[in-house]
């Protein structure tokens, strides 16, 4: 009985590039890979497991290449509209100044820290929707004060946001004093 290598039908194979990678046509721009409409060469696993299932790329067949050439102007128009929207969002963010309340000691050091999700939540309150991976912090904000935070919106569009970290207003100062008295009464009752 001879064992032969089972061959995958040619319809399932992805076209290979000159350097052995899989050649794909990008449907959408992918960071660190290429822009929409470009033919890129990637490893087969990256193509099968990420780019193709996510709809970011398709096989680089002659038919698809002709379709992209035909629709390049339309794609460019869509891309320009997207960039204009990102620039408008960037201008809107640059005009904003958000305030985040945090618990701090008397020297101004925070008990916790302000992280990207806190900034995203503060922007959501003013109806600006971004994701936490678009917030570029050089580290968590651990002190009270004014910070300038970089927001990366994509496609080389970045903006700066002013973030005020202020101490939490604590109206319940007398309440902690009442707790020890209540605890003392509880101990006296036992």
Does residue 71 share a domain with residue 30? yes
How many domains does the chain divide into?
2
**Residue 99 DSSP code:** E
Q: What is the number of other CB atoms lying within 10 angstroms of the CB of residue 120?
A: 18
Do residues 153 and 135 lie in contact, with contact meaning Cβ atoms separated by under 8 Å? no
**pLDDT above 50 (res 9):** no
Residue 100 has pLDDT above 90, yes or no: yes
Pseudo-torsion of CA 107, 132, 99, 122, nearest 10°?
Answer: -140
Mean pLDDT of 134-138: 92
For residue range 146-158, what is the model confidence (pLDDT) as tens digits? 999 999 988 788 9
Beta-carbon count within 10 A of 165 CB: 22
Same structural domain for residues 96 and 153?
yes
CATH number (domain holding residue 58): 3.40.5.10
Query: Does some domain include residue 42?
Result: yes
Question: pTM to 2 decimals?
Answer: 0.56
Alpha carbons 51 and 30: distance in angstroms, whole number: 9
State whether 76 and 106 are in the same domain. Answer: no
- Which pLDDT tens digit goes with each residue over 11-26? 467 767 667 788 888 8
**CATH number of 129's domain:** 3.10.430.100
Domain coverage including residue 134: 90-167
Q: Are residues 28 and 63 in the same domain?
A: yes
pLDDT in tens, 58-97: 888 888 778 777 777 787 888 889 899 999 999 999 999 9
């Amino acid at each position: 009985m001879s064992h032969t290598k089972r061959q995958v039908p040619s319809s399932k194979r992805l076209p290979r590039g000159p350097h052995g990678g899989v050649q794909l046509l990008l449907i959408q721009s992918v960071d660190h890979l290429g822009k929409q409409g470009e033919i890129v060469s990637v490893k087969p696993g990256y193509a099968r497991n990420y780019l193709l299932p996510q709809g970011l790329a398709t096989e680089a067949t002659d038919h698809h290449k002709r379709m992209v050439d035909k629709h390049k102007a339309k794609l460019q128009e869509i891309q320009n509209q997207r960039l204009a929207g990102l620039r408008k969002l960037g201008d809107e963010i640059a005009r904003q100044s958000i305030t985040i309340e945090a618990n701090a000691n008397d020297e101004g050091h925070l008990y916790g820290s302000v992280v990207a999700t806190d900034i995203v939540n503060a922007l959501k309150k003013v109806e600006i929707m971004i994701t936490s991976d678009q917030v570029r912090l050089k580290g968590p904000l651990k002190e009270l004060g004014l910070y300038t935070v970089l927001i990366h919106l994509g496609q080389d569009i970045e903006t700066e946001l002013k973030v005020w970290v202020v101490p939490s207003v604590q109206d319940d100062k007398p309440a902690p004093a009442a707790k020890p008295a209540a605890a003392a009464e509880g101990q006296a009752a036992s």
